[in-house]
């Protein structure tokens, strides 16, 4: 049934009309906009990488300071523990 409805219609074919190249090209303003976007992307990526690098350095410094603090606390705790232990009361040393 569909074939009967569309039998009289022809498929349109494109004609070879000349195209004005000035209407199809982006021109100076299109080029300027693309250059501006490219520069903005480069600046944003550079800034992002700088901030990530700064965050990593700060995290490394924070880890080093924490490790030094824990080492100092461990030395302080072992000094206090060693002062409380009497070698004469140590059951492992009696033999």
Match 């903005």 to its residue by tokens: 40
pTM: 0.49
Give the span between the Cα atoms of 86 and 93, in whole angstroms: 11
Contacts of 5 (CB under 8 A, 6+ apart): none
Distance, in Å, from the CA atom of 22 to the CA atom of 73, rounded to the nearest integer, reads 76
Residues in the chain: 95
93 with 87: CB under 8 angstroms?
yes
Indicate the pLDDT class of residue 19, thresholds 50, 70 and 90. Answer: confident
Confidence of residue 64 (pLDDT cuts 50, 70, 90): very high
- The pLDDT > 90 percentage for the chain reads 45
Mean pLDDT of 59-82: 85
14, 32, 80 from 21: Cα distances, Å: 19, 19, 88
């Amino acid at each position: 049934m569909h074939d009967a409805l569309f039998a009289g219609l022809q498929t349109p074919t494109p004609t070879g009309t000349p195209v004005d190249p000035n209407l199809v090209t982006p021109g100076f303003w299109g080029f300027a906009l693309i250059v501006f976007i490219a520069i903005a992307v480069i600046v944003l990526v550079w800034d992002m990488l700088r901030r990530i690098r700064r965050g990593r350095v700060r995290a490394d410094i924070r880890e080093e300071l924490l490790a030094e603090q824990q080492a100092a606390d461990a030395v302080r705790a072992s000094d206090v523990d060693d002062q409380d232990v009497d070698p004469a009361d140590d059951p492992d040393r009696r033999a």
